[in-house]
Structure 1
Amino acid sequence: MAANNRIVLSSDHAAIPLRQAIATHVAAQGWAVVDIGPTTPESTHYPKHGEAAARLIASGDCCLGIILCGTGQGIMMAANKVKGIRCGVCADTFSARMIRQHNDANMLSIGARVVGEGLALDIVDAFLTAKFERGRHATRVEMVEALEE
């Protein structure tokens, strides 16, 4: 677990139950969960939730984030607009592990209408337990970061 063990979770209305299941799951592993909602099922806009979570990571308040919407795609796109964020949408454990090991991802996006709860929890575990491998991958991450300038 990272020195700063705060992890932010956010979603749109389509993913509230899955987000809450993930929050319980990661809290049981010792993470300090910062769940920024929403909590009610009224339709809401995923860009604001992706941005809000990403800003908590960019500021250093949280070290990692998990965000969700129906497909995971839209909220991921919004989060990636925040400088310093590397977020990937994953529907399998291999990809979740690789975005950490090779891309030093600091956010994971999941589609609540794409994967069930059991698989989602496995994806989260793969993401949280993987470590950035550095080496040749560090050069590539630096190249991606340079695109933000």
Structure 2
Amino acid sequence: MKIGVGSDHNGFELKETVKKYMEELGHEVVDYGCYSKDAIDYPDVAFQVAEGVSKGEVERGVLVCGTGIGVCIAANKYPGIRAAMAHDVYSAERAQLSNNAQIITMGAQIIGSEVAKKVVKTYLSVSWQGGSQRKVDKIVEKEQQFLTTDGKSIIDGSINCN
């Protein structure tokens, strides 16, 4: 599987560990940054991974920041993306089986490297089987209420609704 990874500076070391582990598992990994411990804003990387997933450049994504919260919020702002925070094996499994999440997020200040490896392995070992399809459809339908066919948002005023 082709997986996109990304982190801010707080998640850099854990991202590197998880990236190497995914490669050992036989996955192709695309690294969207960051590439050092130099400060970087987490939304920038989260948007890049979300865009990679959205465009089909990668099949799934893994994002890391200090808590996993910031990258999760940012990735979920990208149209069509469902990102889920997963700090345990059960959450990782359910992110995919119940929610068809294309991205999982983790916090480097929350989770250790060995648990993170198990979380990622679990997430990548399960596939969406249509569970909770009705619920996922409701999320997609709500999102579509705020987008037009050309991708402009009704909410931000770029479309005149009158």
Structure 1 length-normalised TM: 0.93
1:139 maps to which residue? 134
| Equivalence map 1:1-149=2 (5 Å) | 5-135=1-131, 137-149=132-144
> Which structure exhibits the higher relative contact order, with contacts defined as CA atoms closer than 8 Å and separated by 6 or more residues?
1
* Cα offset, 1:133, TM superposition: 2.7
Counterpart CA distance in 1 for 2:128 and 2:53 is 17
How far is 1:40 from its partner? Answer: 1.8
Deviation at 1:139, TM superposition (A): 1.4
Deviation at 1:112, TM superposition (A): 0.4
Amino acid at match of 1:132: W
Cα deviations by residue, 1:10-54 (Å, 9 ceiling, x for unpaired): 000001111011111111112110011111212110011100100
- Tell me the percent identity: 28
Displacement of 1:61: 0.8
Give the distance between the partners of 1:6 and 1:124, measured in 2 at CA: 13
Q: Distance in 1 between matches of 2:56 and 2:141?
A: 20
Deviates more, 1:28-37 or 1:70-79: 28-37
Question: Alpha-carbon deviations, 1:72-126, whole Å to 9, x = none?
Answer: 0001100001111111011111011001001011000000000000000011011
Partner Cα distance (1:140, 1:103) in 2: 8
Unpaired runs of 5+ in structure 1? none
* CA distance, structure 2, for counterparts of residue 29 and residue 77 of structure 1: 28
Which amino acid is the alignment partner of residue 74 of structure 2? A
Q: Which amino acid aligns with 1:46?
A: Y
Aligned CA-pair RMSD: 0.9
Between the aligned partners of 1:28 and 1:148, the Cα distance in structure 2 is 36
2-structure distance, mates of 1:127, 1:147: 26
Q: How many residue pairs get matched?
A: 144
- Secondary structure of the 1:108 match is strand
